[in-house]
Amino acid sequence: MGTEALKKDFPIFKVKINNHPLIYLDNAATTQKPKKVLQAISNFYSYSNANVHRGVHTLSEEASEMYDEARRKIARFINASHESEVIFTSGATDSLNFVASTWARNNLKPGDVILVTDAEHHSNLVPWQIVAQQTGAELDFVEVGETQEITLNNFKNKISEKVKLAAFFHCSNVLGAMLPVREISKLVKNNGGIVVVDGAQAVPHVPVNVQNLDCDFYAFSGHKMLGPMGTGVLWMKRDLLDKVEPYRYGGGMIDLVEMKHSTWADPPEKFEAGTPNVAGIFGLGAAVDYLTEIGMENIMKHEREVINYAASELSKFERVKILGPKDVNERYGMITFYTEGAHAHDVATVLNSYGVAVRSGHHCTMPLHKKYDIPASLRASFYIYNNKDDVDVLTGALKKAFEILG
């Protein structure tokens, strides 16, 4: 993959940070946007702006068609069995809250168990804490181990008929570890449970086939895969579409409204009350086109090279301690590490002075950082436009940081 040519597609790389070229390694937080995505958003507002599914005038029909086309594209991208399984949300957090507020709150009861891992992003933990409080169900935790195999075994030990809902990441936003979603799903479902997967860190980096994963709900964000902020997807398995209640109520989601009673439109409209983020979704469709053109297999292969190089370069520093799977090939999208004797924020501030953007903090995983007994860590997360040169700038700046911070 020619990353230098790719970078030209992204206007942000013309920006200088402290007089240095931008080395953007915070892709797990959000990715940069290519011109095609920016143009799609701007074109919508410039030439096609109208509300969807409301009017018979030309622009409204055009907007509706563009919106539906984006849904079909995204359905194909994750291999949904039908486009109505793709429900637009404002992001993965919204998607997870959707499931918590609908299926979970309406079906769970005292004695039931909600199973999550000890390494979830707060967005896949806090909603379940609230559901547990509201329904009387119990929240239980699976420890994420060094390998997929260990984690799968840890799941086996926790599975019982009491587990009515299991929610876990596909790819961890700190460890970069992938979970064997298909195998875990089988375990949970064989015991009568429902499976919710947080795919925010997986969809941007690996080919995702939701039918193959065999879960019930799959959540992801648009802005972590070149799309605009405020866009996301909740994929819901087709046989649940009629069983799950609406998440929000209002215009666009109704069939018939009487004074004291209403009926719902068919899915997916049933789940999308109010004016949707049409421009954003159109931008997300353009992002999916962009990724599809490069090919998810190629993206995966390219990231593998960069991550393996970064892991080997970073491990040359004695003071750098890398979190997550020991086998670098089990690590996707990112390398999270802490620096002995230097606080993550201080290191990140020095890196920034060389134009290197990394995340420092607890990355919305406070319990996980408590488990490792570190207040904060640094995360270098990569995407299609990053290359080995970026890694060299990172390690060069890291050397400087250690000199300055002692």
Partner 1 sequence: MDNEIYKEELMDVYRNPLNKGKLDNPSVSILERNPMCGDEINLQLSIKDGVVSDVKFDGSACAISIISSSLVTEDILGKKVNEIRDYDRQKLLDLVGLNLSTSRVKCATLVLTALQKAIKQYDSGKK
Applying CB under 8 A, among 343, 357, 392, 396 the residue interacting with partner 1 is: 343
Closer residue to partner 1 (CB): 330 or 346: 346
Nearer CB in complex with partner 1: 162/343: 343
Residue 240 in contact with partner 1, rule: CB under 8 A: no
**Least separation in angstroms between CB 36 and partner 1:** 31
**Neighbour count for residue 31 (Cβ, 10 Å):** 24
User: Residue 380 Cβ, how far from partner 1 at the closest point, in Å?
Assistant: 17
Q: Give the end-to-end CA distance of the chain in Å, rounded to a whole number.
A: 38
**Do 165 and 104 touch, CB atoms closer than 8 A?**
yes
Written as one letter, the residue type at 154 is N
Tell whether residue 346 is a contact of partner 1 (CB under 8 A). yes
Which of 361, 388, 392, 396 is in the footprint of partner 1 by CB under 8 A? 361
Among 241, 349, 392, 395, binds partner 1 (CB under 8 A): 349
Span from 71-79, 80-88, 181-189, 340-348 in contact with partner 1 (CB under 8 A): 340-348
Closest CA to 134 of 154, 174, 157, 107: 107
Which structure tokens are listed for 124?
Answer: 């896949």
Show the tokens assigned to 376: 């904060």
Nearest distance from residue 136's CB to partner 1, in Å? 28
Q: How far is the CB of 247 from partner 1 (least distance, A)?
A: 28
| Nearest in space to 94 (alpha carbons), one of 279, 319, 333, 273 | 273
Query: In angstroms, rounded to a whole number, what is the distance separating the alpha carbons of residues 314 and 390?
Result: 13
3-state secondary structure of 179: coil
Q: List residues with catalytic annotation.
A: 364
Give the nearer residue to partner 1 in terms of CB position, either 3 or 353: 353
Crossing angle for the helix pair 296-314 and 388-405, to the nearest 10 degrees: 30
Q: Which CB sits closer to partner 1, 18 or 81?
A: 18
Instruction: Tell me how far apart the alpha carbons of residues 212 and 22 are, in angstroms, rounded to a whole number.
Output: 38
Measured CA to CA in angstroms, residue 14 lies from 9, 113, 226, 273 at distances of: 10, 50, 17, 39
Interface with partner 1, residue 21, by CB under 8 A: no
Cβ distance to partner 1 smaller for residue 71 or 369 = 369
- The one among 12, 14, 18, 59 contacting partner 1 by CB under 8 A: 18
State the minimum distance, in angstroms, from the CB of residue 373 to partner 1.
10
Given 126, 265, 357, 376, the residue binding partner 1 (CB under 8 A): 376
Residue 406 sits in the site that holds partner 1 (CB under 8 A): yes
Could you say which residues in the range 71-100 bind partner 1, by CB under 8 A? none
Alpha carbon distance 344, 337 (integer Å): 9
Give the residue, chosen from 137, 253, 344, 378, that forms a contact with partner 1 under the rule CB under 8 A.
344
| CB of 206 or CB of 350, closer to partner 1 | 350
Q: Which of 219, 350, 393, 394 binds partner 1 (CB under 8 A)?
A: 350
Residues ≥6 apart with Cβ < 8 Å to 56: none
Token pair, residue 271, equals: 């789940």
DSSP class of 225: G
- Closest CB to partner 1 among 377 and 386? 377
Number of CB atoms found within 10 A of residue 28's CB: 27
Q: Counting contacts by CB under 8 A, is residue 345 touching partner 1?
A: yes
Instruction: Give burial (CB, 10 Å; 0-12/13-18/19+) of 118.
Output: middle
Q: Which residue in 27, 32, 93, 360 binds partner 1 (CB under 8 A)?
A: 360
Q: Which residue type occupies 179? A: L
Residues of this chain that interact with partner 1 (CB under 8 A) are: 18, 343-346, 349-350, 353-354, 360-362, 366, 369, 375-376, 404-406
